[in-house]
Amino acid sequence: MRELGIGLIGTGFMGRAHALAFNNARAVFELPVTLKLAALADADVERAQRCATAWGFAQAHGDWQALINDPNVELVAITTPNHLHYPMAMAAIAAGKAVYCEKPLAVSLEQADAMRRAAHAAGVVTRVGYNYQHNPMISLARQMIAQGDLGEIISFQGEFSEDFMADPTSPWSWRCEVAHAGGALADLGSHLLAMAHYLVGDVESVCADTHTVHAQRPVTSGSSELKAIAVDDQVHALLRFANGARGTVSSSWLKQGYKNHLSFEISGTLGTLAFDQERLNELRLYRVGQDGFQRLLAGPALPGYAAFSPAAGHQLGYNELKTLEVQELIMAVAGQGAEGTDFDAAWAVERLATAIRVAAKEERWIKVQEV
C-alpha cells in the first residue's frame, strides 16, 4: 500500500490533537494509504524533537519551511497561530502538497481568497479543521436534512457561547486583536457559521450587531495598565439562507456558565432537530407524528462511530472528532473523498463572517456576495 508522509507544524494543544488523530486514525480505520508520520516542526527545535519522540514522528525541524520542503512530507498540517496560516499554506501549496489547516483559514478575507485560488491552481487537496462537523451526530443530522426527513428547512437558530473571557480582568491576548482574527465571532462564531453552512447551505444576506462589552483589558494578568480592545465580545445576527430558511446566530465569549455551548436548532416543515456540543453524543429530534422529542444517543449505526466502539452509549470524545476529521482528509488525499470543508468552503465561512462584521458596522442588511 502506498505510504503518505505527514508533516505537522506546531506542538501546542492543537498540534498534539493532530498527532493523536493521525496515530489513532491508522489504528481504527482501514485507510487506502499507510500513514507515515514523517516530520514535526516547531520554532523551538528541542521541543520539536521531544514531541516527535513522544508522538511518533520520524524527524524534527526547527524551521517550518524545511518541513514543507522535506521530500518525505506529502501532506502539511498547520496548527500554528492564525496569522501564520497564510504563509505556511501558500508555501505548501507552492510545493504541491496537500494542506490541512486549522480554522480560521486566515486572518483576512483577502488572504483566504488568495489561498483558495492558489489551491485550485495547484490542484492540491485542502481541508480546514472545523472538527465539530465530523461528529457522527452531525453526520446524521446532515443526512436527515439531505434526505428531507425534516421536510423543507425553514429555520436555523444557533449559538456558540463560552465564558473564558467573562472576567473583565482577563488580560489582553492575541485573541483580542483583529489582525489575528480575534473576537468572539472569529474565534467561536465561525464554528457556528461553518455548521449553518454545512447543514443548511449558503447564506444570502445578513444583518448583525457586534458588541464590545469590556472595552479595555489589562495588558497582562494583574497589570494595572489597560489596553483598548476593538474586537467583539458578543455578536447577534439574522440570516437569510439561499433556500429560503431564516435564522439567528449568537456568539459570546463572556456568557457566564457555558464552556462549549455550540448549539443549534434546525426546524423544517416536518420536524425539528437540536444539538448542543456540551452533550456531543446526543441529538434531540422531533418528527411529525411523534408524541415528543426523542433523545438520540450515539451508536454504531451512525457514520464513523463504529470505528471507536461496537456499542451504543460508549460516547466519543472531542479528540475522536479530530480522528474522524483526519480520516475524511486522508480519503480525500487518496482520491476517495466526498465533499468536505476545503479552502473553498472555509473561505465561504470567512466571507459570511466578514459580511456579518460589515452589516454590524454599517447597521444594515448586507448581501453576502457584496463582500
Closer by beta carbon to a copy of itself, 96 or else 244: 244
Closer by beta carbon to a copy of itself, 97 or else 261: 261
Closer by beta carbon to a copy of itself, 122 or else 238: 238
Closer by beta carbon to a copy of itself, 100 or else 241: 241
Answer for which of 38, 193, 254, 346 binds a copy of itself (CB under 8 A) is 254
Closer by beta carbon to a copy of itself, 76 or else 207: 207
- For Cα atoms 340, 186, 134, give the angle at the middle one, nearest 5 degrees: 30
Q: Which DSSP string corresponds to 187-235?
A: IIIHHHHHHHHHHH--EEEEEEEEE-S--EEESSTT-S-EEE--S-SEE
Task: Please give the helix or strand (H or E) that residue 246 lies within, else none.
Answer: strand 246-252
- Residues 20-59, one symbol each (x = binds a copy of itself by CB under 8 A, - = not), give x--xx-xxx-------------------------xxx---
Answer for which of 227, 259, 361, 367 binds a copy of itself (CB under 8 A) is 259
Shortest Å, Cβ 23 to a copy of itself: 6
- Terminal alpha carbon distance of the chain: 45
Q: Does 65 bind a copy of itself (CB under 8 A)?
A: no
CA distances from 196 to 11, 186, 248, 265, 270 (A): 30, 15, 10, 10, 19
CA 117 – CA 194 distance, rounded (Å): 20
Considering only residues 184 to 223 of the shown chain, the ones binding a copy of itself according to CB under 8 A are 207-209, 211, 213
User: By rule CB under 8 A, what count of residues binds a copy of itself?
Assistant: 85
- For Cα atoms 54, 102, 234, give the angle at the middle one, nearest 5 degrees: 125
Dig out the grid coordinates for 301 from the structure. Answer: 449505526
Q: Does 172 bind a copy of itself (CB under 8 A)?
A: no
Answer for which of 5, 7, 10, 247 binds a copy of itself (CB under 8 A) is 247
Considering only residues 126 to 155 of the shown chain, the ones binding a copy of itself according to CB under 8 A are 150, 154-155
CA 52 – CA 41 distance, rounded (Å): 9
CA distances from 328 to 30, 89, 128, 225, 303 (A): 12, 19, 11, 47, 12
Residue 356 near residue 237 (C-beta atoms within 8 A): yes
Closer by beta carbon to a copy of itself, 111 or else 267: 267
- Residues 1-20, one symbol each (x = binds a copy of itself by CB under 8 A, - = not), give ------------x--x--xx
Q: Which DSSP string corresponds to 60-79?
A: EES-HHHHHH-TT--EEEE-
Shortest Å, Cβ 226 to a copy of itself: 17
Considering only residues 272 to 311 of the shown chain, the ones binding a copy of itself according to CB under 8 A are 272, 277-280, 285-288, 290-297, 299, 308-311
Q: Does 251 bind a copy of itself (CB under 8 A)?
A: no
Closer by beta carbon to a copy of itself, 124 or else 137: 137
Query: Among residues 117, 76, 124, 68, which one has the least CA distance to residue 96?
Result: 124
Shortest Å, Cβ 295 to a copy of itself: 5
Shortest Å, Cβ 95 to a copy of itself: 28
Task: Please give the helix or strand (H or E) that residue 100 lies within, else none.
Answer: strand 98-101
Considering only residues 309 to 368 of the shown chain, the ones binding a copy of itself according to CB under 8 A are 309-320, 363-365
Closer by beta carbon to a copy of itself, 104 or else 271: 271
CA 74 – CA 39 distance, rounded (Å): 10
Answer for which of 226, 270, 358, 371 binds a copy of itself (CB under 8 A) is 270
